[in-house]
Chain A
Amino acid sequence: MIKHLLSVTQLSPEDINRVLDTAESFREVGTRVIKKVPALRGRTVVNLFYENSTRTRISFELAAKRLSADVINFSTSGSSVAKGESLKDTALTLQAMGADAIVIRHSSSGSPHTLTRWVEASVINAGDGTHEHPTQALLDLYTIREHFPSFEGLRVAVVGDVLHSRVARSNTHALVRMGAEVTLVGPPTLIPPEAQAWGVQVSHDMDEVLPKLDVCYMLRVQRERQRQQYFPSVREYSRLFGLTRERVAALPEGALIMHPGPMNRGVEIASDVADLPRSLITDQVTNGIAVRMALLYLMLGGTGEEAA
């Protein structure tokens, strides 16, 4: 298994299947009364979060704890970072304290990669700027696989603010790698020009795409990252690209609805749509723990050397 997880493009289809298969066993652990196994007893996992996050940080924390690893949560407010410490010095400090894995979220794309130059520990990218969020893609693939036997030819639309979305990048790369047919849907201002090179279709008309889907993956409108006006009004965006009851009716029977959270109810997804049985948003959260357990286990459960 790879030492660091920075991007889904590091993973072959075999690697991805291995993570998903392993996650299935960890899913079972999550259903037990004692939701804990001693697999990573004595290892130390540091959550280094330079950006606010609730679900990803808690998910990694629970994953590590259910493997009996020790978990340190290091968030930037109220820490040495608030006193002006650089990423490098923070990294060297964590290294000196004997961290085995560092889970990092940072607003700058590429910072997890930079971190690997300074530390011995395994680095896991938990979201870097607008670049990637590989564990989100893996948990989404796991969730899709629970409903469809194969990714080959699966028709998936990723709808919304693709431009600012690391989730869209990681999911698209992973899905295309596994053989799915991905369509990016959104206003032209929110589809990055380089998307043509991702091996996907692009559409600006949601209603045309909906009837041909197996999975409709909604993205959050990331207003905190938008430095200029990308669409005239939230109301208009929602009218053109929001998943409403009427649009759900246009989806084929059995098509699934996903969203990485946190949701803007009433903007990209209507509130009653988010709560439909075919919407898998809470499954995604549950599966996230199992998938992160599998990754931590596979990355820290060996010496990292080639087996004899």
Chain B
Amino acid sequence: MGFRPRGRLLDEGEIRRALTRIAHEVLERNKGAGDVALVGIAARGDDLARRMAEELRRIESAEVPVGVLDITFYRDDIGLRGEAPEVHQTLIPFDVSGKTVVLVDDVLYTGRTIRAAMDALMDLGRPRAIQLAVLVDRGHRELPIRPDYVGKNVPTRADDLVRVLTNETDGQDGVEVGEVSA
């Protein structure tokens, strides 16, 4: 399955500014970084979570714990696709209980990934609250899920693909919209 890009939604500078703004909003909303922890959803969400932690350190000299969550085992389409979905590593080196966990993902679409992420998180402990930060909200929700922090709202067609590239994983930063090509 290929990807034919149609346009660029965010460039490197826009991604950086969006993450800086979200970091400020997280601090404002939670009155500081006291009990905040960032958990990025693999893959790409963890890259963004680490950058947000960097921003929080810069703005408020706050050391915020960062973890990576793989939601594969909690997906609702296991057994519906030809091959079992590929599994990534979960690494959350702190206790989520009592924390305000900010889930970080690259693109918010149907909301099914976030549903899975919340279930996965609950099995690891009892967070005081869960908030959701996404770089791009592209609409077409299939579950009652709403983000707390959004980098950019982008209207898309349901059959569009939105692709986020990060320097850490892909060697460059950017968000592109496009369609599936055969």
| Interface majority SS (helix, strand, loop, mixed), chain B | loop
What residues of B have a CB within 8 angstroms of the CB of A84 in the complex? none
Is B98 on the interface with A (CB-CB < 8 A)? no
Nearest-neighbor residue (CB-CB) of A23 within chain B: B87
Closest partner residue, chain B, to A35 (CB atom): B123
A120 touches B (CB below 8 Å)? no
Give residues 102-123 of A contacting B (CB, 8 Å): none
B78 touches A40 (CB 8 A): yes
The answer to whether the Cβ of A254 comes within 8 Å of any Cβ in the partner chain is no
Q: Give residues 29-55 of A contacting B (CB, 8 Å).
A: 29, 32-34, 36-40, 43
Contact digits for A228-270, partner B, Cβ 8 Å, 1 yes 0 no: 0000000000000000000000000000000000000000000
B137 lies within 8 A of chain A by Cβ: no
Cβ of B100 < 8 Å from any Cβ of A?
Answer: no
A303 close to B80 (CB less than 8 A): yes
Q: How many residues of A contact B (CB 8 A)?
A: 31
Check if A301 is an interface residue, CB within 8 A of chain B.
yes
Q: A28-B89, A297-B87 are in contact. Are A37 and B82 (CB under 8 A)?
A: no
Q: Which of B113-129 contact A (CB under 8 A)?
A: 119-120, 123-125
Known: A25-B87, A25-B88. A38 touches B119 (CB 8 A): yes
B89 and A305 contact, CB distance less than 8 A: no
User: How distant is the Cα of A308 from the Cα of B82 in the complex, in angstroms?
Assistant: 7
| Contact between chains at B90 and A25 (CB < 8 Å) | yes
Contact between chains at A37 and B123 (CB < 8 Å): yes
Encode contact with B along A141-159: 1 for CB under 8 Å, 0 otherwise. 0000000000000000000
Q: List residues of chain A with CB within 8 A of the CB of B70.
A: 25
In the assembled complex, A300 has its CB within 8 A of some CB on chain B: yes
Q: Among B79, B88, B123, B125, point to the contact of A302 (Cβ < 8 A).
A: B79
Contacts A25-B70, A36-B123, A37-B123 given; indicate if A302 touches B89 (C-beta within 8 A): no
* Bound: A218/B167 CA distance, A: 48
Q: Does B72 contact A (CB under 8 A)?
A: yes
CA distance A297 to B80 in the complex (A): 13
**Option from A294, A300, A308 in Cβ contact (under 8 Å) with B79:** A300
Q: B84 to chain A: which residues have CB within 8 Å?
A: 1, 297-302
A294 to B85, CA, bound (A): 12
- Among A21, A25, A34, contact of B124 (Cβ-Cβ < 8 Å): A34
Question: B85 contacts which chain A residues (CB < 8 A)?
Answer: 301
CB pair B79–A303 under 8 Å, yes or no, is: yes
B142: interface (CB < 8 Å): no
A197: Cβ under 8 A from any B Cβ: no
Q: Check A305–B74 contact: CB distance below 8 A.
A: no
A1-B84, A301-B79 are known contacts. Are A25 and B123 too (CB-CB below 8 A)?
no
Q: Which residues of B contact A194 (CB under 8 A)?
A: none
- Of the candidates B74, B78, B89, the one whose C-beta lies within 8 Å of that of A25 is B89
Determine the residue in chain A with the shortest Cβ distance to B119.
A38
Q: Would you give the shortest CB distance from A30 to chain B, in whole angstroms? A: 12
How near does chain B come to A222, taking the closest CB pair, in angstroms?
Answer: 35
Measured CB to CB, the nearest residue on chain A to B89 is A25
Across-interface contacts of B81 in A (CB, < 8 A): 302-303, 307
Tell me, yes or no, whether A279 is within 8 Å of chain B by CB.
no
- How would residues 1 to 39 of chain A score, 1 for a CB under 8 Å from any chain B CB and 0 otherwise? 100000000000000000001101110110011101111
Q: List 9 A-B contacts (CB under 8 A).
A: A1-B84, A25-B88, A37-B73, A294-B87, A297-B73, A297-B84, A301-B78, A302-B84, A303-B80
Chain A residues in the interface with B (C-beta under 8 A): 1, 21-22, 24-26, 28-29, 32-34, 36-40, 43, 67, 294, 297-308
Please give me the 6 A-B residue pairs with the lowest Cβ-Cβ distance, nearest first.
Answer: A301-B84, A307-B82, A37-B73, A39-B73, A302-B83, A302-B84
